[in-house]
Structures are given as C-alpha cells and as structure tokens.
Structure 1
Amino acid sequence: MISVLVAGGVAMVVALLATPLFISFLVGRQYGQFIRQDGPTAHYTKRGTPTMGGVVIIAATLLGWGAAVLASGTLPSASAVLVLFLMTGLGVVGFLDDFIKISRQRSLGLSARWKIVGQGFVGITFAVLALQFPDATLRTPASTHISFIRDTGLDLGFAGATVGAILFVIWANFLITAWSNAVNLTDGLDGLATGSSLIVFGAYVIVCVWQFNQRCGLPDGDPARCYGTRDPLDMAVVAAAITGACFGFLWWNASPAKIFMGDTGSLALGGALAGLSIVTRTEVLAAIIGGLFVIIVMSDVIQIGFFKLTGKRVFKMAPLHHHFELSGWGEVTIVIRFWLIAGLFVSLGVGIFYAEWVTG
C-alpha cells in the first residue's frame, strides 16, 4: 500500500513545484488563452492567461506512478500502462489543439476531422490491447462484458470472439469520447474541472484499494463477492498519482487562475477516467461517481437539441456553469457549489459500490 502513498505524494509535489516554472515558461513565450467572444464578458479579463497546464498534470502523474513502481520493486502492469497510454495519448491530441489555438490566436484548434482521427487512433489502440495480456488466471485488463460494479451478464462477445472484440472497441471508444468531452466541457471556470477530477479520482483510489483487498484468489476470500479485476492495486496507484497531480495543480488553477489546464489536461483526465472505469469493471458506476461531468455534458446536449427542435434555449448559456454565471452567480460560488455536487455524487457512487458488496 506504500506505493499508493508514494504515487500521490510525488505527483502532488511535482505538480505543486513544476507548475509555476511552467507558467514562467509559457508567459515568456506568450502562450496565453484565447477567449471566445460569445462567452460571459467576465472572462475577457482571463485573456492571455497561460494554458496547456495539462502538460504538468500528465508529467506529474507519470513521475508519481514511476516513483511508486520503483518503491514497490515490481514490474509495471498491463492495466496501468494502458490507462496511462490512453491518458497521455489524448493529452497529446489536446496539446496539438491548444497549440493551434494559441499560435493562430483563435478559439478553434484542430479541425473536427483530425481531432476524431487522433482520439480514434489512441482509443482503438487502447481497446484492442486491453483485451490482450492475460495473467496467470487468464484475466485481461478489460473484458467484453458491460460492467456496473463488476462484470454483468451482458456480454458483447455473445456472437463470437471477433464480433465481441469489435463491439467492445466501439463501446470503449464511446466511453472514451464521452468522458473526454464531459471533462472538457466542465473546464470552463477556474478550478472547476481540476477540483472535480480530484474528488472523482480520489474516490477511485478507495474503489481500487477495496477491490485489491477483496480480489479473487485470496485464501480467506469469498468467491461469491470477490472482484475479478486484473491489477486493482496498480490501478489504485494510477488513481492516486492523478489525484495528487490534480491537487498540486489546483493550487495554481484555483480562482484567480494563474494557469489553465486546456484541452491538454481535460482530454487526458477524461481519457484516464474512461480507462479506469473499463479496467476496474465499473463502466456504469463511473457515471454516478462522475455525475457532475454527466450533468454538465447533458446540459450541452439538451441546449443544442432543444434549440434545433424549437429555436429556443433551455439555459441562458451552455454548459450549465455558464448559465449560472449569466444568472448573476459569482464564479467562486459556482465552483464551490459544483464541487459539493461532485462530492455528493462520489459519496453516492462509493456508497452503492460498498452496499453491493455488503449485500452480496
């Protein structure tokens, strides 16, 4: 368990100390945020604030995880490497998007086509490899079963291994796209996405540690209630590293933000959340634990859909946090209250996770 503490501690310290250095680097090169003209007018003062802070989050996560691997003296697991690959790969796509926005001083970065190509390449690679690398018990990082708190009876491989693999790749990429876009939409106010991510990934540390302590194969374990995940402790280490990285970055990203995470960070964190949900067999439960992200992305879907059908808007502006801004709420007030909502969803999700084990 020491590796979990090492991962979180090292990642937090790296993010806390490296972020101001990265801010100085970005300021020196005038890599500042471009503010959309149709957004809240209060955001105009943020123009020029350094962005691409997701680079620090990703780097701190990788260093925290690496330090934990060295401290434990074990080889990296396939599950951890795959989730970190997904996180870093989507972070690279986000970095290219951010860099184009900054260099061309516009609110649009990568074209939709190239963003889909980049995300698709990373997502498909992750999904294909996640069904490989069986351990001694023949468990692979992911399975073709749709999962809630553990794998359910709904198996995408009902028509054969090949069809199952194809359906799983489609399902996994739906989750990856949904979560990366959800976190991306949440990243609209100082510290909102970072703080919410910290709470959600902190919950996954608890979930993964519990799965490790109740994993299948233990001499005194209950075979009816054990968890058949491949590398639960390593996933706790990854979740702890991400939590620590978000903690250190939030010190500088909280209002008034000295730096934004940009698409580099939001796509990376969304990808990490999707990857964690897949390899820990909590794909549906993740929608409860990360309920704030779901609400925000649904507000955008509702706004667009309702406007196309009726020509009218449900909210003053979407995503949801901008609606409250235009309603007169202060930015800090919105962020704190949304953090509280994120905490309530996390409490509900973890409570459901534990209650399922208690009831058997």
Structure 2
Amino acid sequence: MTISIMLITLFAGFLFSAIIGPLAIPFLRRMKFGQSIREEGPQSHMKKQGTPTMGGVIFLFSIVISTFGVSIYYGEFTVQSVVLLIVLLGFGIVGFLDDGLKIIFKRNLGLTSLQKLIAQIVISVLAYFLLKGTGFANELSVPYTEIVLNFGTFYILFMVFWLVGFSNAVNLTDGLDGLVAGTGAIAFAAFGVIAYVQDQTDLSIFSFAVAGALLGFLIFNKNPAKVFMGDTGSLALGGALGIVSILTHQELLLLLIGLVFVVETASVMLQVGSFKIRKKRIFKMAPIHHHFELSGWSEQRVVVTFWIVGIICALIAVLPEVL
C-alpha cells in the first residue's frame, strides 16, 4: 500500500461529506428534524434548540461511498471491509431509530437503554462470527510488549463489551459543536496509520475514509453548528472505532488514542456513583466537558483543548508503532 492511497481515501471522504452536507442539511430542516436540548443542561445550549440533527447520515454515506469505491478500485474489498461497514451501519441504524423517536415524540428520550443494548449486542455478535470464519485470532495484545493473551471463545464477550462500551462512550462525548467530529477524525487517522504499518490496506482505507468524512462534516458541525450528528453518527463512530482497534489487534491502545472518550465516560460513572453513595457531586455537571463550560470556559475553548489532548495521545500511541 502506498501513502497515495491513504491520501486519496482521506480526500474522498472529505469531498463527499462537503458535497452531501449542503444537500442534506436543508432537507433535515424541512423535515423538522430538530434537536431537543436537555433542560438540565447548560443554559447556553438552549439557543441550539431546533438545530437539525441526524447529521450523521452525511458522513455515513461519505464513508460507505469512499470505502467501497477506493477498496474496489484497488482490489482491497475484503471480509474485514464488510465487517467494518456492518458495524458502522448497524450501530448507525440503532442511533437513527433513537434520533427518530426523539423527533417524533418531541422529547430527549428515544429508544430505551435496554433496546439499544440488545441491538448493539446482536450487531457485535454478528461481527464476531463473520470474523471467526476468516480465522481471526481471539487474542488480546498488550501494547509495547510481546505479551499476547489468548481469550479463546471468551473473546466474544470482550468484543461485545468493547464495541458497546466505546459506542456509548463516543455518544456521551457528543455534547459540544465539533467535539466528536474532531476527536473522532484524530482517532481514526491514528488507527489508519497503524493499519498502514501493519499492511492492512483494507482497514487503512476504511479508517482514512472515516477521518476524511469527519473533517468534511466538521465544516458544518463546527461552532456554531449548522447540524448535529445525533446518535445516528456518534453510536456508529464508537462502534466502528471499537472494531478498528480489534482488527488491528491494538484494542488496549484505544484507551490511549481514545482517551478523551474514556475520560468523558469515567466522569459520568464517577458522578453517578458519588451521588448515589455520598449524595454529593464531584463535577458541576457530567460529562466533564460540561464541567469545564460551567467553570467559565467557552465552548470553543473546551473543544479545541480536547482536540489537542486527542492529538497528543494519538502521537504518543502511533510513534512507537511507526518508528
């Protein structure tokens, strides 16, 4: 695989999002697919009420078109490519249904947690058995060491936990304009480089297609956002990030590359646990990006800071793999 294929895929993803965005946003607005804002959230967010949501369809289309087109052209469309797209679109459909119910009933609650969990588990199990047919190793590698843990058939449990966990982690992070689009692009680019080093062209094409599509989406999602990705986008990205880490056998490295998502999730868990046990809150509001907002940071400052953290973590993770 040459670097030119990576750049072509990155550009294709960006271009398709940039083209689809201006066509999709007016449609979403006409259909009154507006975002409902939580009343208990920061008051500064109330002005975002009615901003079109479900914008994840913009980059989902871009990713599918770019991945399929480039992979077919270079003869790199594989079973792994199919699994990647199934997880992306499967989790995206769950998010789409969740967003749709919120819009129909004009509330901030869509599918129940149990309904989403069952759907996510089914998609994860399907992905596992598709990979199992290719001779996929049920192993977990410890980064920067020669240690490899063989989970055997229990790997399916890890895979379900990993995909569902990161899908929801990215979903929790999606609360500020451009936050997930930026951090997601950084994370997928990092795994794209890792896949390139591993000579997994199919996986690298997908990763850079996602990175490019998110950068294109960022044109419309940066502050002030003209469109939100909604659960349609965030659940899909989290699931896809999880499966990419699995296919590179760098699962645990995702904890570093996706540190922003990990911290956001941990802040919610700590907040809930502290309130239940101590009846006291640790943060002014969780996820932690809201804590910084209520501490006086502007939304743009929080987002850019988290982007920088994402870039630093990605570099720390990727450099040892490249050098």
Task: Give the TM-score category using the shorter length.
Answer: over 0.9
Percent sequence identity over aligned pairs: 38
How far the C-alpha of 1:292 sits from its partner, in A, is 1.1
How far apart in 2 are the matches of 1:19 and 1:283?
A: 32
* 2:170 counterpart letter in structure 1: V
1:207 to 194, 214, 219: 194
Instruction: Please tell me whether the aligned partners of residues 123 and 173 of structure 1 are also in contact (alpha carbons under 8 angstroms).
Output: yes
* 2:139 counterpart letter in structure 1: H
- What is the CA deviation profile of residues 173-197 of structure 1, one whole-angstrom value per residue up to 9, with x for unaligned ones? 1100111111111100000010000
- What is the CA deviation profile of residues 303-349 of structure 1, one whole-angstrom value per residue up to 9, with x for unaligned ones? 11111110000000000000011111110111111111111111111
Please name the residue that 1:254 is paired with.
222
Please name the residue that 2:116 is paired with.
115
1:254 to 1:147, Cα distance in 2 relative to 1, 3 A:
same
Query: SS at 1:154's partner residue?
Result: strand
2:139 to 128, 145, 148: 145
Please name the residue that 2:234 is paired with.
266
Please name the residue that 2:279 is paired with.
311
Please tell me whether residue 336 in structure 1 is matched to residue 304 in structure 2: yes
2:10 to 5, 8, 11: 8
How far the C-alpha of 1:120 sits from its partner, in A, is 1.2
How far the C-alpha of 1:113 sits from its partner, in A, is 2.0
How far apart in 2 are the matches of 1:194 and 1:183?
A: 10
- What is the CA deviation profile of residues 18-63 of structure 1, one whole-angstrom value per residue up to 9, with x for unaligned ones? 1121110011111100001100000100000000011111110010
How far apart in 1 are the matches of 2:305 and 2:249?
A: 30
Structure 2 unaligned residues grouped into runs of 5+: none
- What is the CA deviation profile of residues 136-161 of structure 1, one whole-angstrom value per residue up to 9, with x for unaligned ones? xxxx3xx211123488432112xxxx
Q: Which has the larger radius of gyration?
A: 1
How far apart in 2 are the matches of 1:328 and 1:153?
A: 45
Instruction: Please tell me whether the aligned partners of residues 76 and 201 of structure 2 are also in contact (alpha carbons under 8 angstroms).
Output: no
1:266 to 1:288, Cα distance in 2 relative to 1, 3 A:
same
1:18 to 10, 17, 20: 20
Instruction: Please tell me whether the aligned partners of residues 200 and 290 of structure 1 are also in contact (alpha carbons under 8 angstroms).
Output: yes
- What is the CA deviation profile of residues 81-106 of structure 1, one whole-angstrom value per residue up to 9, with x for unaligned ones? 10111011000000000010011110
Instruction: Please tell me whether the aligned partners of residues 170 and 180 of structure 2 are also in contact (alpha carbons under 8 angstroms).
Output: yes
How far apart in 2 are the matches of 1:116 and 1:22?
A: 29
Structure 1 unaligned residues grouped into runs of 5+: 135-139, 158-163, 213-231
Deviates more, 1:41-50 or 1:122-131: 122-131
How far the C-alpha of 1:114 sits from its partner, in A, is 1.3
Query: SS at 2:198's partner residue?
Result: helix
Please name the residue that 2:40 is paired with.
38
2:292 to 289, 313, 324: 324
Instruction: Please tell me whether the aligned partners of residues 197 and 321 of structure 2 are also in contact (alpha carbons under 8 angstroms).
Output: no
How far apart in 2 are the matches of 1:168 and 1:10?
A: 34
Please name the residue that 1:294 is paired with.
262
- What is the CA deviation profile of residues 222-278 of structure 1, one whole-angstrom value per residue up to 9, with x for unaligned ones? xxxxxxxxxx11100000100110010001000000000000100110011100011
Deviates more, 1:327-336 or 1:113-122: 113-122
Instruction: Please tell me whether the aligned partners of residues 33 and 46 of structure 1 are also in contact (alpha carbons under 8 angstroms).
Output: yes
Across the aligned residues of Structure 1 and Structure 2, the Cα RMSD in angstroms comes to: 1.4
How far the C-alpha of 1:75 sits from its partner, in A, is 5.2
How far the C-alpha of 1:205 sits from its partner, in A, is 1.5
* 2:259 counterpart letter in structure 1: G
* 1:108 counterpart letter in structure 2: L
Please name the residue that 1:137 is paired with.
none
2:149 to 145, 154, 177: 154
How far apart in 1 are the matches of 2:148 and 2:192?
A: 26
How far apart in 2 are the matches of 1:186 and 1:327?
A: 18
Query: SS at 2:226's partner residue?
Result: coil
Instruction: Please tell me whether the aligned partners of residues 6 and 67 of structure 1 are also in contact (alpha carbons under 8 angstroms).
Output: no
Instruction: Please tell me whether the aligned partners of residues 3 and 69 of structure 1 are also in contact (alpha carbons under 8 angstroms).
Output: no
How far apart in 2 are the matches of 1:261 and 1:78?
A: 28
Please name the residue that 1:126 is paired with.
127
* 1:240 counterpart letter in structure 2: F
Instruction: Please tell me whether the aligned partners of residues 117 and 164 of structure 2 are also in contact (alpha carbons under 8 angstroms).
Output: no
Pairs aligned (count): 320
